[in-house]
Amino acid sequence: MFQSVPIIRPITQDDLPKLLWSDQEKELSEFHQQLFEEAKLGKIFFMVADIDGNIAGRIRITPYTVDGNPWISGLQVKEDMRNKGIGTKLMEKAEAVLKLLGSTSVCLTVNIKNTDALRLYKKLGYTILSLGTQTWTYPKQGKQISVSEDVYFMMKKLE
């Protein structure tokens, strides 16, 4: 079956249901809606990899943060679409957006157990700065769910 090259583009409202490809993504459906609203306000960039109308992955770019460093987060590629360059294309697009905004570096975190993502980030030139714990929250049925995970803090200089 012929497969097109992924188009990396901003997410639309119609894309949100297409992100529900796994139990994890279904758990985050309200969070996706929240991120979509933040993107509409220009606070973040929320982008997807579109292959022939099917969403194969997503990524979030936060260019303006309290610490002054732009962040890439929320990279996720649909399981049956992994190892096909989609994560790389999403990361390259995120970095290109940040360069256009004048950023000279970018930060991210990766769960220490996510060896596939760690390998991708290293291949793309990210270096580990430190090991730590990151806590983040997401909305679900009117409550805030808190998640703590051990992560590597990583950075890359943008050229």
CATH number of domain containing 48: 3.40.630.30
Q: Is residue 2 in some structural domain?
A: no
Q: Are 45 and 10 in contact (CB under 8 A)?
A: yes
Q: Is residue 50 in some structural domain?
A: yes
DSSP state for residue 122 in the 8-state scheme: H
Q: What mean pLDDT is predicted for residues 91-115?
A: 96
pTM of the shown model? 0.93
**How far, in Å, CA of 18 to CA of 16, rounded?**
5
Q: What is the pLDDT of residues 112-146, one digit of tens each?
A: 999 999 999 999 999 999 999 999 999 999 999 99
Q: What mean pLDDT is predicted for residues 82-96?
A: 96
Q: Which strand (E) or helix (H) includes residue 86?
A: helix 86-100
How many domains is the chain built from? 1
In which domain, by residue range, is 145 found?
7-157
Q: What is the pLDDT of residues 32-60, one digit of tens each?
A: 999 999 999 999 999 999 999 999 999 99
Q: Is residue 1 in some structural domain?
A: no
Q: Is residue 122 in some structural domain?
A: yes
Distance (Å) of CA 92 to CA 13, 47, 57: 23, 12, 13
**How far, in Å, CA of 63 to CA of 69, rounded?**
7
The pLDDT of residue 1 is 45
